Each structure stands twice: as C-alpha cells, then as structure tokens.
Amino acid sequence: MKQFPAYLRTYASFSDAELQQICVSFEAFHVTAGTILLHEGEICRHLYFVDEGLLHFYFLRDGVEVTRYFTIAPYLFTSQRSFNLRQPANESIQALEDCRLWRLSAEKAEALFSLPAWNIFARKILQEVHFFTENIYTDLQTQTAEARYQQMLATQSDLLLRIPQKVLASFLGIAPQSLSRIRKKLACSPAKLT
C-alpha cells in the first residue's frame, strides 16, 4: 500500500498515526482481468483503492454493456450511490487488467469519519468525482465520438492502448466498427493532433 498514504496526502493533511489507522482498516486482495467486483443490482459494501491496474464501470442497456468511465491506479473508487445509500447498484465494476486492490468495508469507512482529515478527504474526493462525471456527461452531449477520441489520444494515449476496442467504443457511444474507421481516418490524416 505504498501509494495510498501519498495519495491521501494530496487531498488532506494526515498525521502518521491517522494514516496508520486508515491503512490497517483496508484489506489487500488481487483480482484477474475480467473479474467483476460488483454486479448491477447488488449493494456495494466496499470502498476500494486500486494500487495497480485498470477498471471500468458499466451498465447494461438492452443486453449491451455501456461503459460510463474508467478507474486507473492510483485511485479510490466505489459505486457511490449504492455504497452511501445501501441501495442496489445501477452499474457493474469490472477489472480490465489484473489489479492489486485494497478494500474498506462500509462499517470501517464510517468509523474513519472520527478523523477530521478523513472528513476533508472524503468531501474533496466526492467533489472531484462529481466534477469528473459531470465533464464526461457534458462531453457526451457536446462532442462527437471522434472529437472525444482525439481528446483522449492527446491526453491519455497510453490509456488507449490498455482498453479493449469494444469497451472504448462503448465509452465513446459508438460501434467498434465506427471506432476502427475513426482510428483509420486519424492514422491517414496528415494533420497533427494537439
């Protein structure tokens, strides 16, 4: 859990004792690529930290997976509404790669709110996730799939190599064949992407 203390300290000022209390509350485990951590309709009972790996959040529409977003190490994640309200999740969470994870039960997470720094951290991470999700939905409504792909290519090109084409196409809201056409068009284009 080497990355976790540094990750926490980017959001709030934790003492060494507080970090120790937090870290011992988490349980380490590994999952292989393809593992589903949460199925749509289940109640999410854990808060997770991904130390290594890549996951995606998706839901089913007419039996087809629709990717909402990705979680890349190092980051804290959960099915927020399900975890906080103890309601069935409206999404699934799946590992796209082998992942090294840490998990915290809802009960232990609640106990950590006795730490002022954890309260600050929780507020800031919730705000960050809210803004991130809002940006994704705004981009979906205002940008073409090609523009969104170009933006990812310019800012997250390494991530694009890690995401299966079917999953990436789902995230962009297009069919895999359409993504292939966009990639081919951009590969043949003499214009420089910035």
What are the DSSP calls for the chain, one per residue? Answer: --HHHHHHHTTS---HHHHHHHHHHSEEEEE-TT-EEE-TTSBP-EEEEEEE-EEEEEEEETTEEEEEEEEESSEEE--HHHHHHT-B-SSEEEESS-EEEEEEEHHHHHHGGGSHHHHHHHHHHHHHHHHHHHHHHHHHHHS-HHHHHHHHHHH-HHHHTTS-HHHHHHHHTS-HHHHHHHHHHHHH--SPP-
- As a whole number, mean pLDDT of residues 24-42 equals 96
For 82-98, what is each residue's pLDDT tens digit? 999 999 999 999 999 99
First vs last Cα of the chain: how many Å apart? Answer: 36
Q: What are the φ and ψ backbone dihedral angles of 117, each rounded to 5 degrees?
A: -65, -35
Cα–Cα distance, 147 to 182 (Å, whole number)? 10
Confidence of residue 191 (pLDDT cuts 50, 70, 90): low
Cα–Cα distance, 39 to 8 (Å, whole number)? 28
pLDDT > 90 in the chain, percent: 77
pLDDT surpasses 50 at 193: no
Domains of the chain by start residue, with CATH: 3-118 (2.60.120.10)
pTM of the complete model: 0.88
Q: How far is CA 52 from CA 33, 63, 75, 78, 101, in A?
A: 12, 30, 9, 16, 7
Confidence of residue 134 (pLDDT cuts 50, 70, 90): confident
- As a whole number, mean pLDDT of residues 26-35 equals 96
pLDDT attached to residue 190:
59
- As a whole number, mean pLDDT of residues 104-114 equals 95
Confidence of residue 15 (pLDDT cuts 50, 70, 90): very high
- As a whole number, mean pLDDT of residues 31-46 equals 97
pLDDT attached to residue 11:
94
- As a whole number, mean pLDDT of residues 102-111 equals 95
- As a whole number, mean pLDDT of residues 131-151 equals 85
Cα–Cα distance, 159 to 132 (Å, whole number)? 17
